[in-house]
Structures are given as C-alpha cells and as structure tokens.
Structure 1
Amino acid sequence: MSQLMSIDTFLDSEEVLVDVRTPSEFLKAHIPKALNIPLLTDQERAEVGTLYRHKGKEKAVLKGLDLVGPKMSDIVRSFLEVAPKRTVRLYCWRGGQRSQSVAWLLEQAGFKAKILKDGYKSFRRWVLNHFEREYQFRVLGGYTGVGKSDLLQILENKGAQVLDLEKEAHHRGSAFGGIGLPKQPSTQHYENKLAMRLRAFDMRLPIWLEDESRLVGKCAVPEFLFQQISRAQLFVVCRTIEERIVRLCQLYGVEQKQSLIDACMRIKKRLGLEHTKKAISLIEAGLLDEATLIILKYYDKKYQYSIDKRVVSLYLNGSEMSDVQLAERLLNR
C-alpha cells in the first residue's frame, strides 16, 4: 500500500526520489536530485489530455492504459536499476493519476512507494514560501575580479553557511559569466535549487553570499530574497586593478577567443563602439590583459553606481592579506 506524505515529511525521507512526469516537464524544473522515469512520453500525455478534454475521463483513462500496458515491465526494470532496495519516493504534477498508477505497478513488484501529496505543485508552494522567510544574510561585494567566488568557497570550507547564487545558476553574473559553464537552469528550477539549499541551513546563523543583480545570466533571483540581500550587511573586498586583471586572465585565458569576442559584442552598446572594437582587437592579438582593462572600466562604473546606494559594513583590503586571511577576518566579525 502506497503512503501519501506531506511536503516536509516527503523531503525529510531518504528513499530514491523519482519524478514520473514527462521528460519535458522534468527538464523545465523538478525537485533537485530527482530522477526521471516517466509514465508517459510528452506525445502520449498530449494525446491523453486531448481525449480527456473532448471525450471525457473514461476514454482518456482507457487510452492511458493502452499506452502504458505494453511498457509496464520496462518501467519496473527502470526502477529496479535505480532502487534495488525497492523503496522509492514518487511525485507527479498533482500527486494524482500518474504517481498513483506507478505506485500500484511497483507494489506488484514488491516495492514500497511514498507519494507526495498534491505532487510537484505542493513542492512549488513550499519553495515560494521559503523565500518569504527572514534570513541572516552577509553579502560579499567588490569590483569584478576581486575573488568573491573564491572567498565564498573558502568560507564554506571553513564551515560557514554559503548560498552561492552564481554556482546554482551556472553563471558568473556578467556578459562573460556563462563562458565555459554548463547550460543555465530555468528560473523555476533555479528557485528550486536555492530553496533546497536554504532548507539545509540553520536560520539562527549567518548565510554568506555574493552581491548580485536581480538577474544572474538568465536566472532571476526571487524578488523577496533579492530585497533581503539588498538590505543585508555588505562587506566590500578591495584589490588593485592589476591584481584583478591577473585573476580574470587566469579565469578566462583558457577559453576560446570567439567566446570572449561574442561576450564583448553583447555589451557593445554600453561599452561603446570604439572601446568594443579595441577590446576585440586586443583579444584577437592575444593581449587579454589589455582587453580586460578596457572592459573593467565599464563594469567598475556599473558596480560603483550600485554600491553608492548601499551602506557598507566593512571594507577589506585584499592586497594586504591572503584569501584565507580575508575569510578568517570575515568569520571573526
């Protein structure tokens, strides 16, 4: 007999997590760490849905059985591969027909199944509610290239709670930010990932993150969360422009020149036509340090405008200490 579970209990459980929705539903967004073993393909679901709207539930159910029947053994085999202990958590869109059907099938094969009550819709409500909570954010700021992401990693290695907005978005936050990184998730899946990270934190303790604009590439930081970040304590790391250029060249120097040129073209209106042409010419000539200097003038002006509207809790001179010392200074605040 399958067990219907509330969202918190469902997430607290440790059984293999399986999304039985269609591949396209899963690709758009899903509960992080879930596997996808669809009951119906995208085309099959569309066919059943059309029948339901035009011919009624009975016709749709019968068509669904026609489609699923021949592949029931394959579905069970797929579950045996990922859950050899025969215990699983299942969800579909609303916790209805699809997850209940898969649970029944698996029970015939000796599985124990737990089903998320109200399905993925329940999870999404839970996600959005998480962003309305109050968190003790501590924000790392500074010009492009001061090493904020490196500092966050050191803080996390030292046991601090870190919400890496760029890491979860697969993007470093600038026109160059997606170079060399995996494809970005949808904004909805980005929200799912952030909520699951926040869930793991102790809300009584600080959470460190990087100062970001509302958009990290194409991923939007949830509005209420963004407003909290904007009000949080800001710690600004300072380095010389020469140090920043060295760091940025180390980061982007291994990438294809065309990727860097394409990024320049994305900001040509703001960089200016002449500066864009000059930066591209320098990239083509292999003079990335000189190109970086031109590009940083745009980003520095942009960030300074943003920081002028904030109250800075502390400026840290990164030129006078190592990254580890900087992290220790922040933790001892």
Structure 2
Amino acid sequence: MLQDLTLEEWASLRNTKELTLIDVRSPSEFEEATIPGSLNIPIFDDAERAEIGTLYKQTSIQAAKERGLEIVSAKLPSFVRSFGRIPGKKAVFCWRGGMRSRTTATLLSLMDIRVYRLIGGYKAYRKWVIDSLESIPFESPAFILQGLTGCGKTAVLSALQEQGAAVLDLERLAGHRGSIFGHIGLKAHNQKTFDSLLLDEMLHIHNAPYVIFEAESKRIGKVVLPDFLMRKKEEGTQILLELPLKARVDQILKDYRPWENHDACLLAFHKIKSRIHTPIAAEIEQSLKDSKYDRAVELLLEYYYDPRYEHSFDQYEPMNKAVIQADSVDEAIQAVEAVISNKQRAAEDQRAH
C-alpha cells in the first residue's frame, strides 16, 4: 500500500536525519537538478528511459509499460538491495510523483521495505522553492563585502561562518567565482541547483541578527541572483577591503591553484586576451606557459581586473560604508569583525534610546 508524503510533511523533516530522500529518475536528470541531499537510485538509466519514452510516443502506452516491466524485472534484485542498505525512513520521488516513484514504492513494499512517495515529485518541489524564495522574509541587517579581485572576500566569509556568523557565500552556492577564470577548480551549478541551495541557506539565516555576503553582480557563472538579494545589497552597510597587491596575488594563487589547472587557466585567458594591450597580453601568456603564475596574476590584476573594477562604492552614503586597509587577509578578517561588532552595538544603543 502506497504511503504518500506531502511537501509540507517533508519540509518538517528536512533538517533531521529521520528521512532519506531517494531520486529514482535517470542519472542525467539527477545530475541536472535534484533535491539537495538526495541519493540517486534510478529505476531506468538514461538509455532505458529514452527507449521507453520513444515507445510511449511512437507505439503505445501499453508497449512502454511492458518494456519498462521487462527492464525492471531484470534488475529488481540489485535494485531492492540498494534500498535495503539504506537505514531509517525513506521517501522516493521522480519528476511528478508518477509512474516511476509509484512503481518503486509498490515493488519495495512487496519485499517488506517501507518507503514513502513524495507527492508531486521534483516538479512540485521546484515550485515550492520558487514560491518560497519569493516570499521568505529577509529583515536582517546586511553587511556587504566589496573590494578588488584577490582581497580575500571569500576567505573573510569563510572565517566568519566558522565562527557562527550568518553568511551567504553566493559564489559557493553558484559553484563559480564570477570571473572568466571563476569556474576553475569548481563545479558550476545551474539555476535550479543554485535556487535550492540558496533557499536552504535562507531558511537557516533569514532571522539572524545580521547577514554578510559579497557584493556580486546580478549574474554569477550560469546563475542569476534573485531581486531581493540585489535590493539587500544596495541597502546594506558596505565594507570595502583594501589589501596590497602582493597579498592579493598570494590569495588568488591560494584560491585557484593554477599549477593544478594549467590548461584551464590558459584557455580562460585566451577568452580575454584581445581585451589587453598586446605586449602585456603576450607577457601574461608566456608567464602562464612558463608556470610563472605569480607574475601572470600580478599583470592580470594591474592591467585587466583593477581597471575594470566598477567603483560603485561611491554611490553609498558615508554612514553606510566602511573602508578597511589591511596588510593581510587575517588582518582583514579581524577588522571586518570589528566593523560588524561596532555597528551592531551602535544599533542596540539606538534601540535602547
């Protein structure tokens, strides 16, 4: 007997370890987007799904069902064992909570393995994500990190998050650092995955005393930021980080590890080569080829990234901005902590009066 699980019921369990979600869609569907934290035990692989889909459209629904039964029957023992190894409560879902999840739940119940079926499947979950992002309250004061490339904004966010601060690391959620080199060493996420990860973060932090995130542009890699974050960026207290050039070069080398991504760095550089003065571009390219990464980064900062940096910082009122000049990222972390602490204390004093 099927036991259905509503999205509301799942949402009440989502932050516990009581329930394991299992996506029974094909590997490519799972790879494109899924519910964060889900496992993938596909009832059909990509080729099988394509074959059944063709039969469904070109022959008949009955022919598709019969072929699906043949495929499932052959793999049933291993399929059941995969579920049996997962402890605790389990819930399955497919695209719309239809044939694949229903078949899975029915087959498993015959083997005395109890699973729930998520009503509406991934399609309903996706709608819930979009609706939630549009309606979630976000009243916490925001602190927005700005600064030239390499000034350690991500390192500052990471350090503050480890100390328990409410942080939105948008580049981590996007799987991209935003620049032409931003994908290197990362796995870029699509919009669906980004939205899901962002909602998970927002549900954790939207009532925090404050939130801190980097001043990103509207687009990061493959994803577009929601309007409410862009508004929050404009309203927040701006913190501008300034570090010496050498410290920035060192930080970029630490973040990107170009010696592990040599070819990717060269390929990315070729996409912007024509925008840089020819002699400088030639030196950057040769430095990359010779593995003189520090020199290549220094030239890229001086002749490409720094001149292109939009000094949007000047548009904010003086009371809403702070400038931090530090010799290292560690110093910058301490200074940012101090700015936030002072601002929070001042806000508390103002409320008290």
Assess same fold via TM > 0.5. yes
For residue 35 of structure 1, report the CA deviation from its aligned partner: 0.8
Q: How many angstroms apart in 2 are the aligned matches of 1:94 and 1:252?
A: 40
Aligned residue identity for 1:121: K
Deviations 1:211-251 (A, max 9, x none): 2223323x213332452344241221122223322322444
Between 193-202 and 278-287, the greater mean CA deviation after superposition: 278-287
Say if 1:54 and 1:280 are closer, same or farther in 2 by CA, change over 3 A.
Answer: closer
1:161-180 alignment to 2 at 5 Å?
161-179=166-184
TM-score, normalising length from structure 2?
Answer: 0.84
State, as a whole percentage, how many aligned pairs show the same letter: 31
Say which of 67, 74, 79 aligns to 2:71.
67
Give the total of aligned pairs: 329
Alpha-carbon distance, 1:52 to partner: 2.6
Q: 2:306 aligns with which of 286, 300, 304?
A: 300
Shift of 1:75: 1.0
Segments of structure 1 that go 5 or more residues without pairing to the other structure are none
Which residue number corresponds to residue 3 of structure 1? 3
5 Å-filtered alignment, 1:215-230, equals 215-217=219-221, 219-230=222-233
Question: Distance in 2 between the 1:318 and 1:134 partners?
Answer: 35
Rate the CA distance shift 1:258–1:24 in 2: closer, same or farther, 3 A.
closer
Counterpart contact for 2:241–2:332, Cα < 8 Å: no
Structure 1 contact 144–244 (Cα < 8 Å) conserved: yes
Instruction: Output the amino acid matched with 1:12.
Output: S
Secondary structure at 1:200 match in 2: helix
Q: Give the Cα–Cα distance (whole angstroms) in 2 for the partners of residues 261 and 45 of structure 1.
A: 39
Given that 2:146 and 2:239 are in contact with CA atoms closer than 8 Å, whether structure 1 keeps it comes out as: yes
- Tell me the residue number matched to 1:80: 84
Could you say if the C-alpha distance between residues 117 and 205 of structure 1 is closer, same or farther in structure 2, counting changes exceeding 3 Å? farther
Report SS of the residue matched to 1:140. strand
Distance 1:243 1:49 in 2: 56
> In 2, are the aligned partners of 1:89 and 1:113 still within 8 Å (CA)?
yes
Q: 1:57 aligns with which of 52, 61, 79?
A: 61
What's 1:106 paired with? Answer: 108
Q: Partners in 1 of 2:246 and 2:107 — Cα distance?
A: 64
State the TM-score, normalizing by the size of structure 1.
0.88
Query: Could you report, residue by residue, the CA deviation over 1:191-229 in whole angstroms, capped at 9, with x for unpaired residues?
Result: 222222222324353222212223323x21333245234
Checking the alignment, whether the CA contact within 8 Å between 2:23 and 2:38 is kept in structure 1 is: yes
CA contact (8 A) 2:175 2:187 kept: yes
Relative to structure 1, is the Cα distance of residues 246 and 59 closer, same or farther in structure 2, using a 3 angstrom cutoff? closer
Q: Which among 224, 227, 243 is matched to residue 239 of structure 1?
A: 243
Answer yes or no: is 1:279 the counterpart of 2:284. yes
Aligned mates of 2:313, 2:299 — CA distance in 1: 21
RMSD over aligned CA atoms reads 2.5
The amino acid across from 2:310 in the alignment is Q
CA shift for structure 1 position 114: 1.9
AA at the equivalent of 1:146: C
Q: Please state how far the C-alpha of 1:95 moved relative to its aligned partner.
A: 0.8
How far the C-alpha of 1:121 sits from its partner, in A, is 0.6
Distance 1:127 1:205, change over 3 A: farther
Provide the residue aligned with 1:156 in structure 2: 161
Moved more, 284-293 or 159-168: 284-293
Q: Aligned equivalents of 1:184 and 1:173: distance in 2?
A: 10
Q: Which amino acid aligns with 1:79?
A: F
Secondary structure of 1:322 counterpart: helix
Alpha-carbon deviations, 1:39-86, whole Å to 9, x = none?
1122222232233334443333233222212222221111112x134x
Q: Which residue number in structure 2 is paired with residue 329 of structure 1?
A: 338
User: In structure 2, the residue corresponding to 1:197 is in which secondary structure?
Assistant: helix
Q: Secondary structure at the match of 1:203?
A: coil
Question: How many angstroms does 1:253 deviate by?
Answer: 5.5
> Quick check: 1:154–1:327 contact (8 Å CA) kept in 2?
no
Q: Cα 1:96–1:188, aligned 2, differ >3 Å: closer, same or farther?
A: same
Q: Conserved in 2, the CA contact under 8 Å of 1:140 and 1:236?
A: yes
